[in-house]
């Protein structure tokens, strides 16, 4: 299944009724092609070959993609945000695996996590995030 992520990205952005700038298209395409959460830094490196993109612009595009729900953010223990495209049905309850050695993060899509215990009085939950930590295949 060969997909032109560039075109897919542009279509998604246009459907949202916003400007399809080259930066937005390239970044979203990159994230769509990736099957894991990627750091700002990695994206910057990846894009440095082509027409280079400013650090700040990258931050702003990522923030925008997040607002538009094309992407979501994950924070892991290294305190760095990672971004991942919201492909197909990616509901609000998702789990991540984080490798404690290489700090790589992947999404565990077949999630079966629940929080059973009660919350304190007056507390309301609307999202549950589960992170499994351990060693990935390369580091294990």
Query: What is the nearest approach in angstroms of its own copies to the Cβ of residue 56?
Result: 18
Find the binder of DNA among 59, 77, 87, 129 (CB under 7 A): 59
Q: Which stretch binds its own copies (CB under 8 A): 4-12, 20-28, 51-59, 114-122?
A: 114-122
Handedness of CA 27, 23, 13, 41 (dihedral sign): positive
Cβ(96)–Cβ(37) below 8 Å:
yes
What contacts 107, CB < 8 A, 6 or more positions away? 35, 36, 37, 84, 90, 94, 95, 96, 97
The residue (of 10 and 86) whose beta carbon lies closer to its own copies is 86
How many Å apart are CA 68 and CA 46, to the nearest integer?
A: 23
Interaction residues for its own copies, span 11-50 (CB under 8 A): none
Q: In whole angstroms, what is the distance from residue 47 CA to residue 57 CA? A: 12
Give the residue, chosen from 47, 80, 90, 103, that forms a contact with its own copies under the rule CB under 8 A.
Answer: 80
Contact segment (CB under 8 A) with its own copies among 6-14, 25-33, 58-66, 119-127 equals 119-127
Footprint of its own copies on this chain (CB under 8 A)? 73, 75-77, 79-81, 95, 97, 100, 106, 108, 110-138, 140
């Amino acid at each position: 299944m060969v997909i032109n992520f560039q075109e897919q990205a542009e279509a998604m952005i246009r459907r949202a009724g916003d400007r399809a700038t080259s930066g937005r298209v390239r970044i979203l395409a990159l994230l769509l092609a990736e099957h894991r959460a990627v750091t700002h830094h990695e994206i910057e490196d990846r894009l440095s070959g082509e027409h280079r993109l400013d650090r700040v612009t990258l931050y702003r595009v990522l923030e925008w993609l997040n607002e538009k729900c094309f992407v979501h953010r994950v924070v892991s223990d290294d305190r760095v945000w990672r971004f991942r495209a919201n492909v197909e049905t990616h509901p609000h309850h998702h789990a991540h695996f984080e490798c404690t050695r290489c700090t790589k993060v992947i999404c565990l899509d077949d999630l079966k996590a629940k929080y059973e215990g009660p919350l304190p009085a007056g507390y309301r939950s609307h999202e549950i995030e589960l992170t499994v930590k351990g060693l990935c295949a390369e580091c294990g």
